Structure 1
């Protein structure tokens, strides 16, 4: 239940505003970011004049004062909200960090969105910028407007009445943490370290460049959210639309990365996710981050994990042989996107939410609480309640932290605009707030300084109910690296069994006491997370002694906790093959993990990491027949092994694939290997097949039923009988339809010319419309002029669905498009039967004759902004003058929308699921229908592919592999295209949802459809 529950904090707020006014008078406030128009080359400036902005843009809504903002919050029972800092002291706050004195460090991101001193020379279709140069690091940089500000409450009332800048004039500063004798600032393209050994809040000198190479292409989405891990590494997140090239490690898009401040190592900890922002470690040291997806509360990142990405926009995974990925944590509850900032609340001061995930959802002006529920070796979430709601559109919680007092602190960007899809700098740079959300009656923490505590006093914090004190005490242990503390800490690890044991374990590592002898003992510790972290640190060391190897093998055999087994799999990826494979063997034998969310793929990735330079050791592992029969190996590993050694078609890999076929203990395993190898071979045939593989293919061909998978496998490896077998089975109406569909795809992909007359005959005589659709979908792969003639002949007798696809096929090649348009000119095909979506596809060919015919028969296709605005006004007026019938609207939805969209569990998966959107908000719903290209979610970006033989395809990239890509069209049909066949692959800013959806509906039908879409269930 929600209630208006406000605190009497106005006097405190007034004090904060007085301090802010003082800051303004004394010049502590930065000037607004440079508003010069000299940010673009003339070419880019011209391009931006026609760029269609989208998303939550600046509007006419009124900004509220901090006092007014408080009045608009609806808080869950038992909570109070206070403004602890606001403009003008703090503006555009992006990132928060509490130091060991309880002071709050704030990144004021005032330079956003344009780096000072740089000029945009190019934008891509996603508005990712290319700049004219790489900015130098401070102190030789072009000064910007960003600043790192320290806030302090001197009166003890919790309101930050003192503010000072640690450093100002920064240029795209995104995150800050203290530690290791100074301050770390993430300032892409750099990670900077400002020494401050005497802790006087004044840098000891110019910053050291710890890392260089974080991308600047998209300043809303780059590197972010520094956080110390319990292992002493400095972690950070990385957003989806920037690149990185750091110390030879290259990646594109979303990731969690880490840097070791002593060894200077940099690595990707885990890859993928949504537009990854925020980073949280729970009490067990597990890593989580927010996302821009809907129907989730974020991600739990396992070490070495690969997670879902937008494959077209953000590129493939770093490892092309991943062959799988993890999804976001499943969520039950409020579905709209997106929970970009999150914490696991373990502050001890708000018992109702202890252990819950707290997500700031800036797009919907909401803070959501959710239970974390163990789900095999990872987690899922179930929403409990919205703990903060408001009707203030400007409320944008972009960062969340637990404070020393156990309260939840939120940085509010405070702007009516949230979308980055507008190159114009219309951001409100005059406002920003920081709130404290706490239990009713809660008091601020008294003053303290953990850095002044002795080792014994620091250890007392390991039992503190607030995780912040435990984490900060641990960070100080790492700062000190005091070997004299090790004996006391080891005794504590041995004596305790709960959280204190884990904290002391981490502190042993911080103090230099993690040795082989110590690890041999802690692998038997009763706390599973002590065992987990022992395995983790051993893996990070990348080598093991014989004694540790023996212990890890035994642990893999007997470990009861799936998260420990998960970490064993992750750590094996980091160990030498000779040490890792015996451990992996024991894990593969564990039958209980076959249905684990993470473990099967983690085990595959560990094995795959040895397949390049240690293939003989991998083969030796699979010389054990019993291993092939285990559930995980049978279900997850065998096919991927086959795919791994055929995806990259070197002679050595193909010989290894042949050896695996020889080692397979039964026909079932041979079939699984063949299935995986066929997958790996998709996209192209092998040009040189080693003799060993030829022999195995011939033996299998002679001994096995001729399934589509075997036919495809043999065909790609040069078997001369495969194509004939495919055509024979295809023509046999008694063959199962799923088999025949696979053969259609194979023959089309291989462009077997003899298949064209067979396909056309099937199209004429086949009774199954589903099969006819499959045949139609693959006809564009052939440049045969018999195809358009046959389609135009058959067109009048086809069903509505077959006609729709037939037109799309005719639009896929320029010559065929001409024939379609000529048929209209001759009166053979009614003009009204060719919708705008087909005409737009034809225009992608940029053919003068086609453009001439379109202009002649249909006029100008593109609606102007004025036309769309008028249409919006007309629809609004129409809706205001009558009511709709939901049942009738349901029927219209099924006819016009359900092919692509799901609503209330009904419909297709091509476009976004509409259930979680603000469908009752006409300001959102109507523009999305009238102008669908206005704001396209990045995971639904369409791609245009033109092949070298002039086929044009449009759809969504569902796979992005080194040898091929897979494209899914709006009918749900998938096509694999070899990369060597692709002439161009480009994302389009045009939605696959056509404009003019409402034009064919009567007025009452429009009311009915909108009533159905806008209803709440």
Structure 2
């Protein structure tokens, strides 16, 4: 392909001496580049904006030296270790190209000091590490995370060839999965920290034995309270594993600062503008799924939050730790706490994070706020404005304090799909004119080790820590000198090592009296790690003036019976500090009955006048809590009632139901709808009191959604007129569809057929449109009678055919198509429905019969170069996309949201996602085949599975459907997406993608 001539000004800009750096292209010059040039390593730096003029980004390594880096680490020699993923998701997507010899672990090195890698060493290659998501270098041990295993490679002689490979942990779910096991990191407390996403499911020892928590329970997603993504720590040899947090979606990495505080990012259900940054408080539940039922966040509940991002993490629920920062759309990846000195002061000690979705590197300056923190968002690097193939997968600190960024470099962000297998980059970010120089560390003397233990590079920190720990008393004086440092974080690093001495607990006592609250935080954390078992210590610290310190005391007593400590902590709680309230809840988890009773006795009979006491009751799980909540509801009689009603969902089910019935008996008329929604009701053994109330109140329920919930739950057959009114309204198609489905389930199909055949054509067509959305064999049969009737009007026949969409309806339509019984004038519409079917079997049958109307030979370069008609694209999105995706306020919440898709996917990735939808199914949106005992089968998205129920979304519906697990034979994940390959021309594809590209934040 011939490249266009560049302007003279542009050409002159490229002329520079070998001693100088190439000047960065202006926006106009960059726009003149061809796509081929923009994707080349030559212009890689021009595609990324550095937000601070004091900093400089340089290209350290690129293709063909390495490709597709998923994760990296930097050893104590300054060499970059990279895990590649050429064989990305080949187990799930056999269409992806493969290398039979497997993926590689590379060591990239700059041997001539020019700031660019000139040597690449293959440390290991094999199919057992295909698409590894984590690498960490700890001395001669290299930890590689690739679900279902964590491998430890040992290089005994330092020749960059592994002498041994062992499995440290296994049984992690999500083989070759982005939501599986992630990287390990070393912390100043001498522990290794790691995590996995919500495909992880559980953690096992090498021989398969499950890891246990302090209560002797296996750490798996089937063991309450554990579920979804989790955070762990262990000793460097893999022993003493502890679970530290749970209920994340895809917490890609965990970063730990010198005080022992943990920081994470977390990904939302794709497209819901709800990615987040968390401070991870030990033993916290982080709210991705309902704590008790494990239901999806979309499941309607009492006191449900107003915004999607709050709903997404159940932030109104007692027992959920708050978020630190809300990041909207994204695909969060690597994260660090930068404790180096090379970058300017404002970057020092900050959380720095890679987000591959919006093509950015950010930092999150935080300030303490009570027992928690507040944070803000500041961009460091941004590729979105120019090169949205920039996909930073990891961020790591080098020995000199510079920051390295690995770049997956792809039109998309994973999700089982890869658009580019030949590119990948590693960048270095540092102050301008800062050359990359790394000298060989000296681990021989205490003096040099003291310097090295302060290094921001974790490989050096690890080796120095272990060497100083080994020296023991010999290092005591030097460590005490470092402990006297004015640098709080280096003081903390010295502290952790001092606690490893035989008299280490004396240093904990000393740190507990330090003026710096962060050192006191470290002291409490160290008391747990050292197993001090000194109740007086924690009781003293419970009176600390700092809420940060008291938070640590609270989590420290989770597995202890420490009533005096808890009471002391509860006394200092101030309403509004949700972090502190959750810490108290974590502490009281196994002792609520005694703790809460003693607390209320001390507060006295006027406890309901205390905001703090009411908060604690709301958070509590004691046997007496339902009765206390009942008192609060009766006394409050305000919108606060809703949060107390919601708190009942976290109590014993029988006691909850009895409390709700008590409230009915005591005359809370204004809350009867809430009570009816919340109460458990078995239609096979109906509770007469609840059923009679539902019948009496249903007609007066103001909210249509509440009305439909009650009618469906209690199977009320006396609300026909209002059901029809909701079904026929035009303001909310989702409600209309729900009402139509409920109507047919209650009254059958006779009245629907009569309405569809009304002598008034306008009324008949309206009935066809409104009840045609019910996806059942019976409705499809009714529709077929209309479109198959030559005496019916063209408008009615067309409407009836256009409503033959849906899993069951399309199966009926195919029966007619197979027998050539579709009228010629309606055949094009029928073909379009069948060949765009979400049922891949039907789609294939229709394609075989009619011949493909979908191009299989799209001219991708031509489409990429073309500019589409945005208005036509919007019309196409209304025709195809909003049937299953939300765009702003329009559409159905079935597949991933598209409201900000332009910030996440490049043009290339969007085209590929439409042409090949099965190559990039988002996690949580995979096709599941559910088979029932009665022979029925459905294809659906599984939102959640509880002890008794399977909660799914059916094609084209934003509503959730609940099936009893007892009725189900099997649930199988399929390789094909529910999204069909739409029969779009090249021109239509360009128009549609041009519109989608503009959907940004």
- Structure 1-normalised TM-score? 0.71
Q: CA 1:458 to 1:6, structure 2 compared with 1: closer, same or farther past 3 Å?
A: farther
What SS does the corresponding residue of 1:232 show, helix, strand or coil? coil
Q: CA 1:894 to 1:640, structure 2 compared with 1: closer, same or farther past 3 Å?
A: farther
Q: CA 1:777 to 1:201, structure 2 compared with 1: closer, same or farther past 3 Å?
A: closer
Q: CA 1:154 to 1:990, structure 2 compared with 1: closer, same or farther past 3 Å?
A: closer
Structure 2 residue 775 is matched with structure 1 residue 786: no
Q: Distance in 1 between matches of 2:862 and 2:666?
A: 68
- Alpha-carbon distance, 1:742 to partner: 3.2
Which has the higher mean CA deviation after the structures are superposed, 957-966 or 703-712?
957-966
- Alpha-carbon distance, 1:514 to partner: 3.9
- Alpha-carbon distance, 1:726 to partner: 0.9
CA contact (8 A) 1:5 1:75 kept: no
Structure 2 residue 343 is matched with structure 1 residue 350: yes
Which consecutive unaligned segments of at least 5 residues does structure 2 have? 1-9, 22-33, 211-218, 222-226, 298-312, 837-846
- Alpha-carbon distance, 1:450 to partner: 4.2
The within-5 A match list for 1:750-765 is 750=714, 752=715, 755-756=716-717, 758-764=718-724
Select 1:641's aligned residue among 610, 621, 634.
621
Q: Distance in 2 between matches of 1:588 and 1:75?
A: 47
What SS does the corresponding residue of 2:440 show, helix, strand or coil? coil
Please name the residue that 1:675 is paired with. 645
Structure 2 residue 200 is matched with structure 1 residue 218: no
Select 2:280's aligned residue among 296, 301, 304.
301
Please name the residue that 1:447 is paired with. 439
Please name the residue that 2:540 is paired with. 551
Once the two structures are superposed, what CA deviation does each residue of 1:818-850 show, in whole Å capped at 9, x if it has no partner?
A: 344445445499232246675233257789868
Select 1:830's aligned residue among 783, 796, 808.
796
- Alpha-carbon distance, 1:711 to partner: 3.9
CA contact (8 A) 1:998 1:1006 kept: no
Q: Distance in 2 between matches of 1:479 and 1:128?
A: 51
What SS does the corresponding residue of 2:330 show, helix, strand or coil? coil
The within-5 A match list for 1:824-903 is 824-826=787-789, 827=792, 830-834=796-800, 838-843=804-809, 856=822, 859-860=830-831, 861-863=834-836, 867-869=853-855
What SS does the corresponding residue of 1:452 show, helix, strand or coil? coil
- Alpha-carbon distance, 1:408 to partner: 1.9
Please name the residue that 1:56 is paired with. none
Please name the residue that 1:257 is paired with. 232
Once the two structures are superposed, what CA deviation does each residue of 1:46-89 show, in whole Å capped at 9, x if it has no partner?
A: xxxxxxxxxxxxx9968977556456665553444444445665
CA contact (8 A) 1:87 1:433 kept: yes
Which has the higher mean CA deviation after the structures are superposed, 628-637 or 369-378?
628-637
Q: Distance in 1 between matches of 2:243 and 2:821?
A: 52
Please name the residue that 2:998 is paired with. 1014
- Alpha-carbon distance, 1:264 to partner: 0.7
Select 1:737's aligned residue among 679, 702, 708.
702
Q: Distance in 1 between matches of 2:552 and 2:770?
A: 49
Structure 2 residue 401 is matched with structure 1 residue 406: yes
Please name the residue that 1:171 is paired with. 128
Please name the residue that 1:962 is paired with. 947
Q: Distance in 2 between matches of 1:114 and 1:1005?
A: 26
Structure 2 residue 334 is matched with structure 1 residue 341: yes
Q: CA 1:843 to 1:582, structure 2 compared with 1: closer, same or farther past 3 Å?
A: farther
Q: CA 1:480 to 1:263, structure 2 compared with 1: closer, same or farther past 3 Å?
A: same
- Alpha-carbon distance, 1:728 to partner: 0.9
CA contact (8 A) 2:929 2:972 kept: yes
Please name the residue that 1:37 is paired with. none
Please name the residue that 2:73 is paired with. 97
- Alpha-carbon distance, 1:391 to partner: 5.9
Q: Distance in 2 between matches of 1:194 and 1:873?
A: 45
Q: Distance in 1 between matches of 2:535 and 2:821?
A: 77
What SS does the corresponding residue of 1:211 show, helix, strand or coil? strand
Q: Distance in 1 between matches of 2:394 and 2:412?
A: 17
Once the two structures are superposed, what CA deviation does each residue of 1:254-310 show, in whole Å capped at 9, x if it has no partner?
A: 433322235712233333445443443345443334555575575443333334658
What SS does the corresponding residue of 1:384 show, helix, strand or coil? strand
Q: CA 1:243 to 1:421, structure 2 compared with 1: closer, same or farther past 3 Å?
A: same
Select 2:516's aligned residue among 524, 527, 540.
527
Q: CA 1:348 to 1:871, structure 2 compared with 1: closer, same or farther past 3 Å?
A: same
Please name the residue that 1:504 is paired with. 494
CA contact (8 A) 2:106 2:120 kept: yes
The within-5 A match list for 1:429-448 is 432-448=424-440
The within-5 A match list for 1:127-206 is 145-146=102-103, 148-160=105-117, 171-172=128-129, 175-179=134-138, 182-186=141-145, 188-194=147-153, 206=164
Q: Distance in 2 between matches of 1:907 and 1:180?
A: 53
Q: Distance in 2 between matches of 1:985 and 1:851?
A: 30
Q: CA 1:150 to 1:901, structure 2 compared with 1: closer, same or farther past 3 Å?
A: closer
The within-5 A match list for 1:539-688 is 539-540=528-529, 544-555=533-544, 558-561=545-548, 564-573=549-558, 575-576=559-560, 578-579=561-562, 582-588=564-570, 592=574, 594=576, 596=578, 598-607=579-588, 609-610=589-590, 630-631=610-611, 634=614, 638=618, 641=621, 667-668=635-636, 675-676=645-646, 679=649
- Alpha-carbon distance, 1:374 to partner: 3.7
CA contact (8 A) 2:342 2:401 kept: yes
- Alpha-carbon distance, 1:507 to partner: 2.2
CA contact (8 A) 1:814 1:847 kept: no
What SS does the corresponding residue of 1:914 show, helix, strand or coil? coil
What SS does the corresponding residue of 2:436 show, helix, strand or coil? coil
- Alpha-carbon distance, 1:503 to partner: 2.1
Select 1:818's aligned residue among 781, 784, 797.
781
Which consecutive unaligned segments of at least 5 residues does structure 1 have? 14-58, 130-141, 643-654
Q: CA 1:84 to 1:964, structure 2 compared with 1: closer, same or farther past 3 Å?
A: same
Structure 2 residue 678 is matched with structure 1 residue 710: no
CA contact (8 A) 2:186 2:462 kept: no
- Alpha-carbon distance, 1:449 to partner: 0.9
Q: CA 1:352 to 1:877, structure 2 compared with 1: closer, same or farther past 3 Å?
A: same
Q: CA 1:955 to 1:793, structure 2 compared with 1: closer, same or farther past 3 Å?
A: farther
Please name the residue that 2:897 is paired with. 912
- Alpha-carbon distance, 1:759 to partner: 2.9
CA contact (8 A) 1:336 1:917 kept: no
- Alpha-carbon distance, 1:441 to partner: 1.0
- Alpha-carbon distance, 1:762 to partner: 2.8
The within-5 A match list for 1:7-26 is none
Once the two structures are superposed, what CA deviation does each residue of 1:713-758 show, in whole Å capped at 9, x if it has no partner?
A: 5664974222011101113xxx3413x75354244234x4xx12x1
Q: CA 1:350 to 1:5, structure 2 compared with 1: closer, same or farther past 3 Å?
A: farther
- Alpha-carbon distance, 1:421 to partner: 3.1
Q: CA 1:882 to 1:968, structure 2 compared with 1: closer, same or farther past 3 Å?
A: closer
What SS does the corresponding residue of 2:427 show, helix, strand or coil? strand
Q: Distance in 1 between matches of 2:936 and 2:695?
A: 23
Once the two structures are superposed, what CA deviation does each residue of 1:956-997 show, in whole Å capped at 9, x if it has no partner?
A: 666654344555786755566555566776778887888879
Q: CA 1:237 to 1:317, structure 2 compared with 1: closer, same or farther past 3 Å?
A: farther
- RMSD over aligned Cα atoms: 5.7
The within-5 A match list for 1:39-118 is 66-67=41-42, 69=44, 75=50, 77-85=53-61, 90=66, 92-100=68-76, 102-109=77-84, 112-113=87-88
